[in-house]
Structure 1
Amino acid sequence: MKKSIFSLYFFVIMLNFSCGQNSENKVITPEDVPFNAELFIDELQIPWGFAFLPDGSILITEKKGELIHFLNEKKIKISNVPEVYQRGQGGLLDIQLHPEYSKNGWIYITYSSTDGNQKGGHTALMRAKLKNNALVDKEVLYKAVPNTTKGQHFGSRIVFDNDGYLYFSIGERGARDVNPQDITRDGGKIYRLHDDGKIPSNNPFVGKKNAKTAIYSYGHRNPQGLIKHPETGKIWDHEHGPRGGDEVNIIKKGANYGWPVITYGINYSGTEITDKTAMDGMEQPIHYWIPSIAPSGMAFVTSNKYENWKGSILVGSLSFQYLERLVLEGTKVVKREKLLEGKGRVRDVKQGPDGLIYVAVEGKGIYKLIPKK
């Protein structure tokens, strides 16, 4: 007998911030935080994404449409950045370097774009090169359609896998009953391309009538975390639920992640979306949050700089304004920790080439977590 998701939601709320399939995973604040948080780059508004260049400098996207190169302790504004559709959650979004950047110089950016015949905007993916503090050789590799004037759920993160395929996410653009479950429409999907924008011949929906053949998985709401597992090479995402039901998923070829047919969340008004949390043919998350933390940014810890952190996941919380560490046993979350409480809305998190953790916080800048000796 299926439980009402509405009843489930409030039952879990009463557990006071327990979450996921494991109610014992109560989020805690460690008594002795193993780092000091140093404001490394200051005076940033909404640093949506950032990427380390081989020389140790950093490229930072500001949501309002600015690309900043932090070099030699100076912020250099990059010119010839794509124009963004600034509405709601739209703007200049993620940034990622090609795995062989040192050889080819390609930089990949997602952003909200007005390109097309309809009013409004939708998420686009571009690649370009950096020369003399300007983007050059710009190529739009993918532009979702149709445009809409809605301001929510653009996604979007970018990651490369071990075979050189490029993955990027696009939210369902506020059209939950139309886009996520329909493979002939953009939105609510994770896409896979070759690095030059071509469609891989082995993508799951190649040959399907009217399908968007760049789609790799579907049934997503608004994925703002996308990373490669450092050992298995599999792609993991996290995505915003509505009121409750944020998820962590392992992305599988051609898989349906259920939104909005199944969900552990409810409407913002408190009403039900569906009474179903599982269905045949739809993937279950490996972890979900009730209440929603509004996750943004995601990083696996692979360094030994922080005691007992190796192998865990770091996730930013926009709504509760902290950094969360998820401790894993295999693919099961067994412990949650709150870090950086009170700093602000955590937008992105990365492990730097020096093995240290860097955290982008709205209205502040980028913090460097320096381990205590």
Structure 2
Amino acid sequence: MVFTDKIMHERKVLTFCTFMLIIFSSTFSSYIQFSYGAYAKAPLSPYGPTVNDDNLTVEKVTEGLDFPTSMSFLGNNDILVTEKETGIVKRVLNGQIQDTPALDVSVANSIERGLLGIAVSKQPDGKTYVFLSYTESGDDADGSDVEDNVDPSGNKLYRYDYVDGKLINPVLLFDLTAIPENERGEHNGGKIRIGPDNNVYFIVGEVGGHRTQAQNIADGPAPNGLGGVLRISQDGGIVDPDNPIFGEGLPLNVYYAMGIRNSFGFDFDPLTGNLWDTENGPTVADEINLILPGFNGGWSQVQGYFDQDLLGRGITSVDELVTFGNSKYTDPKFVWVTTIGATALKFLNSEKLGKEYANDMFTGDINNGLLYRFTLNEARDNILINDTSLGNVNLLADNQVDETTENRPLIFGQGFGGITDLQVGPDGYLYVLSYTGALYRIVPLSESNTPKNQPALAAQNETQSANSIPVVIVGLKGDQSYSPNPINIEAGQTITWYNGDSISHTVTSGQDNDGDEGAEFDSNAIIPNQQYSLTFDRSGEYPYYCIYHPTMVGEVIVE
């Protein structure tokens, strides 16, 4: 592997070249089965998004964006939004999407590739810097990695000047490989934050199965800049070169954290300056982490709490993990054993929604369209689920969701569609970006012209035709997940599946890994408290399952 350290206009550009991963033992080459359910996204609620506070309401700021991924504020009611598939940075001014984009770049966009992250930084001299991360196309055409199998050029981090509604003068700061080892365009991360120290923090995943020492493979290749949080100055320089956290030389001296599989959200606590992130597990253990300098999250040997060994690696001591410099393994602060597709994370550094919410942590997910609220302990170094949450908080005393229904006290809002970003505007309100193309903000009902949304709370009780047979989705219970199961009907009858769980599920024909799964029918994500109906006109036996959770199986028998 070769690293280059070039000077461009007196700014250091860090380039990590593509390499061929060495062949590991079968233990590591078959490390985990990938979960394709993670790429199914929650739709908007037909009733619109809501929050669980009678004093708050949800306003729609705008809609019509194309798979937006991140946003950053230029000023009050002035927002830059990135679009994953198109590579376009759009400006939303006073709720209106401007006709002329701020920038259009060529992106590879398979699975999790694309235009991914943005951060705005106002300078003392009046300049405005905008930092963008994206998977750069290999031939200047959007989606050529999908259409023509063209390898992407790389996962790039650029700095631009914002002038008169345009992003100009690009300066390349990071050039990381975007070539996966598992032939899937996933785990590119891409979120950007400007830290309290005014430096640039960039979180990147392990990009399709790279296995280096940064992923805790002791005899693997040297770190290549992937699988961690990277930190540089706004001019692209090394932060504190005399005291690097992980070690001397590139890329060690730009790592702030390692051992991270994939993240779609991180933010700094406004009271302590500490960094927190969400991290996606493979088939188990989505996490929330407190990332102090030198953090090692344990991937690819540990996901979830160390002593539970949810990956089945048999690791018995943290000494078996890779150590660089002052690095140290740290357990997550919260774990969902069943993955939810955790995404954005934001601290509400405002009292505009009420003093009870000030400086609380909010996170979103892609699978369920849920918005979660977390409170921290007095020292603000751990999550503390207390009586400010609604429901049975005792089950969350271990800071772990073991059964999906334990999720309920954490839910602050629902129905947003898959959430891709959360930000606090200059107005102090919480903004929620949905992959469906809509942007919302949560505001006090007393300050809004939008009436409080009152969705149907029991959709299973809605009037159904006399010919409709109800089935309740009760959760992860194997062949008892859909109740009743099996279900016998006559040709021409309709079945209505109601999701009574607190996370999304699907009703998808076939079984996991069938070549024709979903060919007969596929509900897509059925979010909590919503339903899906289907009429069966032909006799036969129809096995089905949940694409998120393949152990959930059912069968329809049509006479």
TM-score normalised by the shorter chain: which range applies? Answer: 0.7 to 0.9
User: Which residue number in structure 1 is paired with residue 434 of structure 2?
Assistant: 361
Residues 121 and 275 of structure 1: is their aligned pair in 2 closer, same or farther, counting only changes over 3 Å? farther
Q: In 1, are the aligned partners of 2:200 and 2:232 still within 8 Å (CA)?
A: yes
Where does 1:217-366 land on structure 2 (aligned, <5 Å)? 217-264=257-304, 272-276=311-315, 279-280=318-319, 281-307=328-354, 308-329=356-377, 330-335=380-385, 336-366=409-439
Counterpart of 1:371 (choices 436, 444, 460) is 444
Residues 272 and 161 of structure 1: is their aligned pair in 2 closer, same or farther, counting only changes over 3 Å? closer
- In the alignment, structure 1 segments of 5+ residues that lack a partner are 1-28, 266-270
Structure 1 residue 248 displacement after superposition: 1.6
Residues 285 and 43 of structure 1: is their aligned pair in 2 closer, same or farther, counting only changes over 3 Å? same
Alpha-carbon separation, structure 2, partners of 1:169 and 1:206: 19
- CA deviation profile, 1:254-275 (whole Å, cap 9, x unmatched): 332100111129xxxxx94524
AA aligned to 2:201 is Y
Percent identity, aligned pairs only?
A: 25
**Does the alignment pair 1:151 with 2:192?**
no
Residues 352 and 197 of structure 1: is their aligned pair in 2 closer, same or farther, counting only changes over 3 Å? same
User: Which residue number in structure 2 is paired with residue 173 of structure 1?
Assistant: 207
User: Which residue number in structure 2 is paired with residue 105 of structure 1?
Assistant: 128
- CA deviation profile, 1:264-299 (whole Å, cap 9, x unmatched): 29xxxxx94524487244211112222222111111
AA aligned to 1:62 is E
Alpha-carbon separation, structure 1, partners of 2:270 and 2:102: 34
Q: In 2, are the aligned partners of 1:30 and 1:337 still within 8 Å (CA)?
A: no
User: Which residue number in structure 2 is paired with residue 203 of structure 1?
Assistant: 244
SS in structure 1 at match of 2:126: helix
Structure 1 residue 207 displacement after superposition: 2.0
Residues 276 and 122 of structure 1: is their aligned pair in 2 closer, same or farther, counting only changes over 3 Å? farther
- In the alignment, structure 2 segments of 5+ residues that lack a partner are 1-49, 140-149, 320-327, 386-408, 447-559
Q: Larger relative CO (CA 8 A, sep 6+): 1 or 2? A: 1
Moved more, 29-38 or 352-361: 29-38
SS in structure 2 at match of 1:103: coil
Moved more, 325-334 or 40-49: 325-334
Alpha-carbon separation, structure 2, partners of 1:311 and 1:221: 27
Q: In 2, are the aligned partners of 1:153 and 1:221 still within 8 Å (CA)?
A: yes
User: Which residue number in structure 1 is paired with residue 72 of structure 2?
Assistant: 51
- CA deviation profile, 1:52-84 (whole Å, cap 9, x unmatched): 113530100011111110124321242543321
- CA deviation profile, 1:178-227 (whole Å, cap 9, x unmatched): 3523653121111010101112213323425x644322211001121121
Residues 31 and 71 of structure 1: is their aligned pair in 2 closer, same or farther, counting only changes over 3 Å? closer
User: Which residue number in structure 1 is paired with residue 227 of structure 2?
Assistant: 188
Residues 156 and 301 of structure 1: is their aligned pair in 2 closer, same or farther, counting only changes over 3 Å? same
User: Which residue number in structure 2 is paired with residue 120 of structure 1?
Assistant: 152
Moved more, 187-196 or 157-166: 157-166
Structure 1 residue 333 displacement after superposition: 2.2
- CA deviation profile, 1:144-183 (whole Å, cap 9, x unmatched): 1263453100002111222211110111012153352365
Residues 199 and 347 of structure 1: is their aligned pair in 2 closer, same or farther, counting only changes over 3 Å? same
Moved more, 345-354 or 234-243: 234-243
- CA deviation profile, 1:279-328 (whole Å, cap 9, x unmatched): 24421111222222211111101211223111211111111211111122
Residues 107 and 277 of structure 1: is their aligned pair in 2 closer, same or farther, counting only changes over 3 Å? farther
Residues 41 and 306 of structure 1: is their aligned pair in 2 closer, same or farther, counting only changes over 3 Å? same
Alpha-carbon separation, structure 2, partners of 1:366 and 1:102: 31
SS in structure 1 at match of 2:440: strand
AA aligned to 2:244 is N
Q: In 1, are the aligned partners of 2:135 and 2:178 still within 8 Å (CA)?
A: no
Q: In 2, are the aligned partners of 1:183 and 1:211 still within 8 Å (CA)?
A: no
Q: In 2, are the aligned partners of 1:101 and 1:107 still within 8 Å (CA)?
A: no
User: Which residue number in structure 2 is paired with residue 268 of structure 1?
Assistant: none
SS in structure 1 at match of 2:196: coil
Residues 142 and 57 of structure 1: is their aligned pair in 2 closer, same or farther, counting only changes over 3 Å? same
Alpha-carbon separation, structure 1, partners of 2:225 and 2:137: 15
Q: In 2, are the aligned partners of 1:127 and 1:140 still within 8 Å (CA)?
A: yes
Structure whose residues are more often strand by fraction = 1
SS in structure 1 at match of 2:244: coil
Counterpart of 2:81 (choices 37, 60, 64) is 60
**Does the alignment pair 1:74 with 2:108?**
no
Structure 2 length-normalised TM: 0.56
Structure 1 residue 137 displacement after superposition: 0.5
Residues 203 and 81 of structure 1: is their aligned pair in 2 closer, same or farther, counting only changes over 3 Å? farther
Q: In 2, are the aligned partners of 1:262 and 1:279 still within 8 Å (CA)?
A: no
Matched positions, count: 338
Please, what is the CA RMSD of the aligned residues?
Answer: 2.6
**Does the alignment pair 1:134 with 2:207?**
no
Larger radius of gyration: 2
Structure 1 length-normalised TM: 0.83
Residues 334 and 67 of structure 1: is their aligned pair in 2 closer, same or farther, counting only changes over 3 Å? same
Q: In 2, are the aligned partners of 1:316 and 1:322 still within 8 Å (CA)?
A: yes
Q: In 2, are the aligned partners of 1:278 and 1:284 still within 8 Å (CA)?
A: no
Q: In 1, are the aligned partners of 2:77 and 2:92 still within 8 Å (CA)?
A: no
Structure whose residues are more often helix by fraction = 2
Residues 364 and 137 of structure 1: is their aligned pair in 2 closer, same or farther, counting only changes over 3 Å? closer
Alpha-carbon separation, structure 1, partners of 2:124 and 2:64: 28
SS in structure 1 at match of 2:62: strand
User: Which residue number in structure 2 is paired with residue 11 of structure 1?
Assistant: none
Q: In 1, are the aligned partners of 2:130 and 2:167 still within 8 Å (CA)?
A: no
Residues 234 and 102 of structure 1: is their aligned pair in 2 closer, same or farther, counting only changes over 3 Å? farther
User: Which residue number in structure 1 is paired with residue 143 of structure 2?
Assistant: none
User: Which residue number in structure 2 is paired with residue 18 of structure 1?
Assistant: none
Q: In 2, are the aligned partners of 1:245 and 1:288 still within 8 Å (CA)?
A: yes
